[in-house]
Amino acid sequence: MKCNQDCKTGKRSCRTDCFAFDIVKVKKELSYRKMYGKEEGRQKMKKDYDEIRIEDLEVFANHGVFPEENVLGQKFLVSAVLYTDTRRAGLTDDLSASIHYGEVSAFIDRYLREHTFQLLERAAEALAEELLLHTAGLEKIRLEIKKPWAPVRLPLKTVSVVIERQWHTAYIALGSNMGDREKYITDAVEALGALKGCVVEKCSSFIETPPYGVTDQDDFLNGCLKLRTLFYPKELLRELNRIEMEAGRERIVHWGPRTLDLDIILYDDLVYEGDELCIPHVEMHKRDFCAAASFLRSRRMCAIRRMAKTVAEMLEEVRENARKRIIKY
């Protein structure tokens, strides 16, 4: 399996280019702010994408905790900011080059009328996901659902829930050194592509690599893929672990033989350290098969070393160090 086009990811600069720090020193609080998009994330998104706005679309639907709300229904007001690239539409005056806000409005109205949720939070989550999945060119959405007739028995103008959801880019390392190695990996690629909210955009060719850590075992077959996903990092990790378990993965010996090994190498420009997950992967710079993937070579890494390096630069550094060790001994 080979990539069908050259990498273009290097055109987007890393949000952390201006920092120089080790991943082990990054605080969880800072990481979560970057993961869930506070002010810095919003400013970056405003810079990267244009906006199409729909404000206070009135929908009569049956959402609420009380049974009467599900039967009688009430008015909801929906506002959406659609983040996309309107450049081509602006140059060509072609509606098909942009997002048709009339069709999006009709979709919102139909979806909220045809489904019933108890919570505004659930209604907003489900609607945002469906819009991202079915609207071509939509990279991110800011969605607000207002409930002006909320049954709280107190005077108020409205209550509302506001969420922001978007597509993310993750890079996943693939590996196996037991049984039919290629089948385990290709089945994993297909399983990831079959997940709702995941699109496998590119997959590298597979190469054999010597085992790492515990060397008294068979060689690995390894590769790397680029994944477009709506999952947050920990949600994606759970799905990877589930796919590993379905492939018969047993975690008995650390760095031991395995039917399938799936690791998150990169996730957007996120820098995160937790008990179960570190992004970027702390040993990415030691894995030739990741750095050798053409669509990863131009990715800029800032959190692994004290200075910013591209993946290709790290790969060359690893190989040079290996040559020096051979000469020394």
Domain boundaries, the chain: 9-35+168-328, 49-166
The 3-state secondary structure of 193-246 reads HHCCCEEEEEECCCEEECCCCCCCCCCEEEEEEEEEECCCHHHHHHHHHHHHHH
Q: In this structure, what token pair is assigned to residue 240?
A: 């990877």
**Residue 61: exposed, middle, or buried by beta-carbon count in 10 A (0-12, 13-18, 19+)?**
buried
91 SS3 class:
helix
Is the distance from CB of 213 to CB of 162 less than 8 angstroms?
no
Q: Cα-flanking dihedrals φ and ψ of residue 210, to 5°? A: -70, 155
Q: In this structure, what token pair is assigned to residue 199?
A: 């699109």
Amino acid at 74: Q
**pLDDT for 23:** 34
Torsion 311-312-315-321 (CA) sign? negative
pLDDT tens, residue by residue, 82-98: 999 999 999 999 999 99
To the query of whether residue 147 is one of the catalytic residues in this protein, the response is yes
Roughly what angle, to the nearest 10 degrees, separates helices 39-48 and 28-36?
40
**pLDDT for 32:** 44
Is the distance from CB of 54 to CB of 77 less than 8 angstroms?
no
Roughly what angle, to the nearest 10 degrees, separates helices 233-246 and 181-194?
140
Given phi > 0 = left and psi -120 to 50 = alpha, else beta, which region is 64?
A: left
pTM for the predicted model, two decimal places: 0.76
- pLDDT tens for the chain, residues 1 to 329: 333 333 333 333 333 333 333 333 334 444 444 444 444 444 444 457 999 999 999 999 999 999 999 999 999 999 999 999 999 999 999 999 999 999 999 999 999 999 999 999 999 999 999 999 999 999 999 999 999 999 998 999 999 999 999 999 999 999 999 999 999 999 999 999 999 999 999 998 898 888 877 777 888 899 999 999 999 999 999 999 999 999 988 877 777 788 999 999 999 988 888 888 888 887 776 666 665 555 565 554 444 443 355 655 655 665 565 555 444 44
Percent helix, strand and coil across the chain, each to the nearest 5: 35, 25, 40
d(Cα 319, Cα 280) in Å, to the nearest integer? 20
CATH of domain 49-166: 3.30.1130.10
Instruction: Point out the catalytic residue in the list 140, 147, 226, 309.
Output: 147
Q: In this structure, what token pair is assigned to residue 180?
A: 């039919």
- The yes or no reply on domain 9-35+168-328 and CATH 3.40.50.450 is no
**pLDDT for 26:** 37
The 3-state secondary structure of 131-195 reads HHHHCCCCCEEEEEEEECCCCCCCCCCCEEEEEEEECEEEEEEEEECCCCHHHHHHHHHHHHHHC
Q: What residues have CB less than 8 Å from 260, skipping those under 6 apart?
A: 174, 175, 176, 184, 185, 188, 243, 244, 247, 248, 249
Q: In this structure, what token pair is assigned to residue 91?
A: 């140059």
Strand partners, 166: 140
